Amino acid sequence: MSYFVHESSYIDEGVTIGDGTKVWHFCHVQKGASLGEKCSLGQNVNIANNVKIGNGVKIQNNVSVYEGVELEDYVFCGPSMVFTNDLTPRSKYPKGTEGYKRTLVKYGASIGANATIVCGHTIGRWAMIASGAVVTKDVPDYALMAGVPAKQIGWVCECGTVLKNEWKCQECDREYTLNDGELQEK
């Protein structure tokens, strides 16, 4: 096992951690969670029971990934962004695992600092969620989302460059096509 866990962090029994992953200060990874290879968990990150995290995922400081959330490979979670897993929570009437709504963040998507992802939605591949945005619906692949509630304000390249009314990235030269409202790499 070649991963790093800071001495101030807690890793429960039944957790899988991939090679090259780093778990920094004051983190807690709960029972049944799975972290892929070469992930980075910043300070004060909580990974709840049974959460699945792919390879190369970066989770910045003060993020909780709750049960019902799945992060595919190369997802970026900015500082203090928020996931939810229950649309109608009540302390007196907890629903338990069966009541959680699934949230999927697909390959390469990025979520900015202090954004909120309301549960039950999918964030598409390479999508970018602006800092402070509140996502209340599914997000298409490559979509650039901003605002409260978040609205699509454009498209982004796989490399992260905003595509400005053109389908060829000015930074990396990737080319895209727009088919039936969906952006696809050529």
Exposed e or buried b for every residue in 46-69, given b needs 16+ CB within 10 A?
A: bbbbbbbbbbbbbbbbbbbbbbbb
Sign of the Cα torsion 88, 94, 98, 100 reads positive
- Evaluate whether 47 touches 63 at the Cβ level (below 8 Å): no
Spatial distance between the Cα atoms of 3 and 22, rounded to a whole number of angstroms: 6
Which residue type is seen at 175?
A: E
- Report percent pLDDT > 70 for the chain: 99
Per-residue pLDDT reduced to its tens digit, 26-75: 999 999 999 999 999 999 999 999 999 999 999 999 999 999 999 999 99
Q: For residue 156, what pLDDT band results from cuts at 50, 70 and 90?
A: very high
